[in-house]
Each structure stands twice: as C-alpha cells, then as structure tokens.
Homo-oligomer: A and B are copies of this chain.
Amino acid sequence: MIMMDISFKPIGVIETPYMDYAPYQPIEDDEGEFRIIVNSEYIEGLKTLRRFKYIYVLYFINKLKGKAEMTVKPSWLGAVAPSEGIGLFASRSPLRPNPIGLSIVRVKKIEDNIIYTSGLDVFDGTPLLDIKPYIKDLDSKNDANFGWLDDVKDKKHLLLHIKGIPHDY
C-alpha cells in the first residue's frame, strides 16, 4: 500500500451557468456559455488544440462535500436502480475518494486563453486540473458496453437521463 500526499494546483477555472444545480452528465446543447479559462502562463499549451473536435476536461470536484460511500444508488436511476446498489467505481458519482471529474466536451472555439465548449456538467468556478485531446482511434471504443446499465428495464429512458436530454415522460 502506497502512502503519499499527491498535490496538484488548478491550471485554470471553468465557468458555467450552473450555480446551484448541475446536470449529472454533459448536456451537449444546454443553454448558456461554457468556458474554460486557462491561466495565462499555460496559453502556449493550447496551440493546435482547436483541431480536435472533442477534448477531455479533468477538474477538481470541490463543490460537493460528503463522504464517499462504497456503494451508491445514483439519484437519476430513481426507482429503476438495482436494489442492492452499485459499486462506487462502477459509477460516475462525484463523491469519490479522489474527487477528480472527467468530462468529454466539444470545442467550439478558442480565443487566447479561453476555450468555449459544449455543455460541461460542472458548477461555475470549478478548478481545472488538465485538458487532453480526445483522439478517435485511441478513445472511441466501438465495442464498449453499458455494464450494469443493461439490467435496467427501461434503458432507453435511462440513457436520456444519462445524456441529460430533456424529455417529459
């Protein structure tokens, strides 16, 4: 067992319209402006990033406090959740031992040190940890599956929730 303190510092901040509420996953076309402000010392590091359609955004989930429970029942699962709960690491719950958030968003434009993106599922003011390019052949796994989500009766409905697509049923 490794014992060490790992220390990071924000390299920027994420600005979103989400103040008191944030969706569980990115809502691609949500209203409002989503901007990643990278500290000016890192501006050169954004070179050629615009060429990518999608990027990974890693951030520190600092607004949600609470103990990470090892089994969770995501609230968006509602009544359809497996009754025994699912393992934390088989979930995307934000309450984790190391609260590192990971979202994939579309790059709209980059101006100086500001990246304008599609909907980003984080609270306004979230500290940015890293940005990585999402590379088609490396990151897009066509043979990926849905894991335990396959057990859920109305998966189609569930996916609307996961993807944050508005629907009225």
Residues of chain A touching chain B, judged by Cβ–Cβ distance below 8 Å, are 1-11, 13, 25, 38-39, 42-49, 51-56, 58, 60, 70-71, 82, 85-92, 96-98, 100, 102, 104, 125, 127, 129-150, 159, 162-163
Query: How many Å lie between the Cα of A3 and that of B169 in the bound state?
Result: 44
Instruction: Establish whether residues A1 and B25, one from each chain, have CB atoms under 8 Å apart when the complex forms.
Output: no
Instruction: Establish whether residues A138 and B47, one from each chain, have CB atoms under 8 Å apart when the complex forms.
Output: no
Query: How many Å lie between the Cα of A147 and that of B119 in the bound state?
Result: 20
Instruction: Establish whether residues A147 and B133, one from each chain, have CB atoms under 8 Å apart when the complex forms.
Output: yes
Partner of A141, one of B3, B54, B70, B145: B54
Partner of A86, one of B11, B43, B47, B55: B47
Query: How many Å lie between the Cα of A142 and that of B92 in the bound state?
Result: 21
Partner of A162, one of B7, B102, B125, B137: B137
* Chain B residues positioned under 8 Å from A144 (CB to CB): 53-54, 134-136, 139-140
Q: Given the interface contacts A70-B45, A87-B46, A104-B141, does A148 sit within 8 Å of B98 by beta carbon? A: no
**Distance (Å) between the CB of A99 and the closest chain B CB?**
9
Partner of A52, one of B8, B90, B140: B90
Query: How many Å lie between the Cα of A135 and that of B43 in the bound state?
Result: 32
Query: How many Å lie between the Cα of A142 and that of B87 in the bound state?
Result: 28
**Distance (Å) between the CB of A51 and the closest chain B CB?**
4
Query: How many Å lie between the Cα of A127 and that of B2 in the bound state?
Result: 7
Contacts A2-B13, A3-B9, A8-B98 aside, 19 further interface pairs with beta carbons under 8 A come to A1-B10, A2-B125, A6-B10, A6-B60, A7-B7, A8-B8, A11-B97, A44-B88, A47-B90, A51-B90, A51-B145, A52-B148, A53-B141, A53-B144, A89-B131, A89-B132, A100-B100, A104-B141, A139-B139
